Chains A and B, each alone.
Chain A
Amino acid sequence: MTTDERIMLTGNKAAAWGARMAQVEYVPAFPITPQTEIVETLAKWFAEGTMKGKYTNMDSEHSMFMAAGAGAATGVRVFTASSSQGILHGMESLYTLTGWRVPLVIVNVSRALATPITLEPDHNDVMSTRDCGLIQLHAETCQEVFDFILLGYHIAENPNVCLPVLVNMDGFYLSFTREPVLIPSQEAIANFLTAFKPAQPVFQASQPMARASAVFGGATYSYFKMQHNLAAYHAEKVFNESAQKFSEQFGRTYEPAEKFHMDDAEFVFVMSNSFATKGKAAVLQLRRQGIKAGLLKLRLFRPFPSAFIAEALSGHKNVAIIDQNLSPGMGGITYPEIVASLYSHPNRPKRILSVIGGLGGKDIRESDFMSIINHFKDPESPSPLYLFDDVDMASFQKIQNIANPKEEPSSS
């Protein structure tokens, strides 16, 4: 491919294209719905010789992530992808390889966690990796999936970061959704992303070394953790620099969070990933009705751009933080992070409402956004607000009646 092309791609295909155009050399893989199309596509490209290097099917996500980390430690550019239960199965490896400080890009295709089992998205899977020390970028569109993979390598391989970058996309809503994606030429990409030059010594047969030494007493352990922490914090600056270069090369500008109709907004929705598109549609609809709504879309989630987010939300009266995840017994996971970021800000919002919705892929409808606005109007209304209405209850009861027909079908 020599010129920029606008093609219809699913999120999964966009991810595979991202790895291809980043000229990834090693892909350890394990399939899981809704991610499989990514590794399937890469397998084909490696088999055809379109991609040079090695593709290996592993026996589990645990060994897949270990292989990915070890591959990156030999100095090659590595890509891998998983989802949901797969991420959980590989969790031990994720902590291990972030500690190794190896750069690579991992795509997570969000799917809600069992039990009960489902295939549709929410963010408990990606939130479970929140404290691993990965850099996290959350994508709203198939274009962002592609762009964030290129951007991801640029950040991960920065000598002052040396950490894996996880690019998150929603299952179904992005993974299987086909929309136009601009694929720049390999020449243009070469101007942005140069060949991987490892900042650390690489594994070589002639130069044995260890990356997983045991340390006791805590002082050495703490030192490593603090180094890791500094690198993660520093990644925000690197994100901004890399995004600036990306914008100069490709014309698409990415801030740590996206402001949508924020300037005069009296009601702000904070959202992330593909459902932010639904939020944007609702903002436009509310504005047509004369309600000054706006939206802040989280994009860089680790490191958490606290100052940027506090700045963006300050001065707005009502802020609703919509979490598509649930920490039972506490509520939404991003809510306390945003509240903490705003706490010392002089001009912080009067009301910050926690909203839980979109669990297991449940749609967030236009009427849900309206009910959030109405919730603000009542000063006594409780937080969090759970987006689960009579229609949802009726659809649950329908299933319940099928499962247990002895019970009186009370509502129908």
Chain B
Amino acid sequence: MKKRLNIRISGLGGQGAVTSAHLLAMAANNAGLFSISNPFFGAEKRMAPAESYARIGPEKIYDRGELVFPDIIMVYHPQVITMQKSYTAPFYSGIKENGLVIINTATDLLNKEDHERLDALNVAVFDIDATKLALEIGGTELSTNMAMIGACIGITNVVTLAQMEQAVQDRFGKKYVASGGTATLDEAIKKKYAKKEQLLQKNNDTIKAAYAMGKEWAESSNHQALAVH
């Protein structure tokens, strides 16, 4: 990695925007890069605007807090755009030239003016139906954030799939330890543990599927911004 990558995630409360910025930073830390992540939100409630930021780079990171000039913007929910549930309006304000926007949507949510402004900055836009992927592969729309980070690393290669899987394991995985109590208790813990493992596997599968889609799109679109390395 030669230069800093600043990622801004705009989502709604409950979608895991904060968690996924943490995962990106953790994966970057696993990769031996410098990283820092932080959220911004007002009222801590579902469906309220929630933003998070991940800064990843080859050198010590001195800035923190709100990310005003991102290289990448990820939009986790259509309402960020359609209902302006965002701390920055329009949601892409501050995006750097040759930047990248990844939107969770099945249809194009941008109007003509949005497209013109983003084109003028040579910003690439990748629409991915992350919620659909999450439902189909993850079995729950709560995996939407996994699909989004999968697409992000598929396009940018900022970290490898293995490093991200490790971060997911570090964040959510728990080592199975026998309780030392009764066999019934051990059996119950084992069951719970197996269920968690299954959930982790589904999340990783969601990341992988979105990763492949992002990678394919990046290779076919040949956009300057997408070559992070």
Contact = CB atoms under 8 A, between A and B. Distances in A.
Contacts of B44: 33
Contact of B29 (A6, A33, A119, A277): A6
Contacts of B40: 172
A284 B62 contact: yes
A32 to B, nearest CB: 13
B143 to A, nearest CB: 21
Contacts of A119: 42
B65 A363 contact: yes
Interface stretch (B31-39, B179-187, B191-199, B207-215): B31-39
A281 B64 CA distance: 10
Nearest to B55: A179
B38 A176 contact: yes
Nearest to B18: A176
A281 B68 CA distance: 15
B64 A278 contact: yes
Nearest to A366: B63
Interface in A357-383: 363, 365
Nearest to B167: A8
B26 interface: yes
Interface string A166-185: 00000011001111100000
A176 B39 contact: yes
Nearest to B36: A179
B37 A178 contact: yes
B85 interface: no
Given A8-B26, A8-B29, A177 B37 contact: yes
Interface string B44-86: 1000000000000000011111101000000000000000000
Given A33-B44, A178-B36, A281 B29 contact: no
Contact of A277 (B35, B37, B62, B68): B62
Contact of B63 (A172, A178, A180, A277): A277
Query: Which label, helix, strand, loop or mixed, suits the secondary structure of the B interface?
Result: mixed
Contacts of A180: 29, 35
B8 to A, nearest CB: 14
B22 interface: yes
Q: Which of B18, B37, B39, B65 has the most CB of A within 10 A?
A: B65
A280 B61 CA distance: 10
Contacts of A284: 62
Contacts of B63: 277-278, 281
Contacts of B65: 172-173, 177, 274, 278, 363
Given A173-B38, A178-B36, A179-B36, A8 B22 contact: yes
A327 to B, nearest CB: 25
Contacts, number: 54
Nearest to B30: A8
Interface in A118-160: 119
A293 B40 CA distance: 30
B25 interface: yes
A8 B25 contact: yes
A15 B3 CA distance: 31
Contacts of A278: 62-65
Interface string B13-27: 000001000100110
A380 to B, nearest CB: 32
A177 B53 CA distance: 9
A173 B64 CA distance: 7
A178 B38 contact: yes
Nearest to B52: A176
Nearest to B89: A398
Contacts of B25: 8, 178-179
Interface string A1-26: 00000101000000000000000000
A277 to B, nearest CB: 5
Contacts of A178: 22, 25-26, 36-38
A125 to B, nearest CB: 18
A281 to B, nearest CB: 4
B62 A281 contact: yes
Nearest to A33: B44
Contacts of A365: 68
A180 B32 CA distance: 11
A177 B36 contact: yes
A333 B63 CA distance: 25
B64 A177 contact: yes
Interface string A246-274: 00000000000000000000000000001
Contacts of B37: 8, 177-179
Q: Which of A119, A178, A274, A280 has the most CB of B within 10 A?
A: A178
A180 B36 CA distance: 8
A195 to B, nearest CB: 28
A278 B210 CA distance: 35
A284 B61 CA distance: 12
Contacts of B39: 172, 176
A280 B60 CA distance: 11
A277 B42 CA distance: 23
Nearest to B39: A176
15 contacts: A6-B29, A8-B25, A8-B37, A172-B39, A173-B38, A177-B65, A178-B22, A178-B25, A178-B36, A178-B38, A179-B25, A179-B35, A277-B63, A278-B63, A363-B65
Interface of A: 6, 8, 33, 119, 172-173, 176-180, 274, 277-278, 280-281, 284, 363, 365
Can you list the 10 inter-chain pairs with the closest CB atoms, starting with the nearest? A281-B62, A177-B38, A179-B36, A178-B37, A8-B26, A281-B63, A280-B62, A178-B22, A173-B65, A176-B39
Given A173-B64, A176-B18, 11 more contacts: A6-B29, A8-B22, A173-B65, A177-B38, A178-B36, A178-B37, A178-B38, A179-B36, A277-B63, A284-B62, A363-B68
